[in-house]
Amino acid sequence: MDQNEIIEKTAEYIRREFQNDSSGHDWWHIHRVWKNALAICGHEKADLFVVQLAALLHDLDDWKFNPDGDETPVRAKAWLEQAGVDPEVSRHVCGIIMHLSFKGAEVKNKIDTMEGMIVQDADRLDAIGAVGVGRAFAYGGYKGRMMYDPESPPQLHGSFEQYRKSQSATINHFHEKLLLLKDRMNTVTARRIAAKRHDFMIEFLDQFMREWDGRDL
Ligand code: ADP
Ligand code: NI
């Protein structure tokens, strides 16, 4: 298979795997991340094949959906191998996938290649703005979390273990992760897009709290 065919087959495979998701990690999330990544690539020098494979496969082995919280990219690696992808490329893609996820406000980011930075930015752009608001509540509902709990303040998690175990209400997640993302974008392009999406979340939270407190009555 040539590179275009591999990308096409990978997209078909992922679309099948993610078709029934209702946690905000459905096929259209992957599709948006793929498109976001290509848009960022328009402004950065990067290997498009690696970027696209990592974007398409990035949530296949996500710790949030594995009972033991592990995210060694076992399934992504197997897929790349059977597709005949060069082992060196496969190692790069799997390395990106493993270090992509947000692991807590105070936990250091381990992404170190331009391709990884682009895919991480593309994924993070889909966690903020109007789509980000929608996805956060979809995920909270999927996990059985409260929408907001005024008696439990947000926490900035110092370790992945604490972040992983958190049962925080969805509004807390904005303070624990989503509002931090605009300053943690790796590329200038993503930083620019993130600024507007960030402002929208601030406006949303402001209105949410006005209604919650009855300040608009
Ligand atoms: P990451 O790998 O960085 O976590 P994902 O593509 O897996 O990125 O998407 C994570 C999304 O899942 C978040 O942006 C948010 O919408 C949702 N999410 C994760 N944890 C929570 C939570 N505790 N409360 C609400 N939403 C959450
Ligand atoms: Ni994702």
Which ligand 1 atom sits closest to the C-alpha of 123? 6
**Average pLDDT of the residues in 109-135:** 97
Q: Whose CA is nearest to atom 15 of ligand 1?
A: 136
Candidate from 17-21, 82-86, 182-186 with smallest mean pLDDT: 17-21
CA 30 to chain centre: 9
What is the distance between the alpha carbons of residues 68 and 85, in angstroms, rounded to a whole number? Answer: 28
pLDDT of 188-212, one tens digit each?
Answer: 999 999 999 999 999 999 999 999 9
- Which pLDDT does position 67 carry in this prediction? 65
CA 150, 151, 157, 161 torsion-angle sign: negative
Q: Which helix (H) or strand (E) holds 203?
A: helix 188-212
Strand ranges in 129-200 using DSSP code E only, listed in sequence order: none
- Which pLDDT does position 166 carry in this prediction? 86
Whole-model pTM above 0.85? yes
- Which pLDDT does position 165 carry in this prediction? 85
Q: Answer whether 190's CB lies under 8 Å from 122's CB.
A: yes
Ligand (nearest to CA of 102)? 1
- Which pLDDT does position 163 carry in this prediction? 86
C-beta neighbour count of 21 within 10 angstroms = 17
Q: Is the pLDDT of residue 179 over 80?
A: yes
Which ligand 1 atom sits closest to the C-alpha of 168? 23
Q: Is the pLDDT of residue 109 over 90?
A: no
The set of protein residues with a Cβ atom below 6 angstroms from ligand 1 is 24-25, 59, 62, 100-102, 123, 127, 132, 135-136, 139-140, 145, 168, 170, 173
Which residue type sits at 42? G
Only one residue has tokens 């993302």, namely 181
- Tell me the residues surrounding ligand 2 (ion) with CB < 5 Å: 59, 123
Q: Answer whether 19's CB lies under 8 Å from 139's CB.
A: no
Q: Answer whether 207's CB lies under 8 Å from 62's CB.
A: no
Ligand (nearest to CA of 30)? 2
Ligand (nearest to CA of 71)? 1
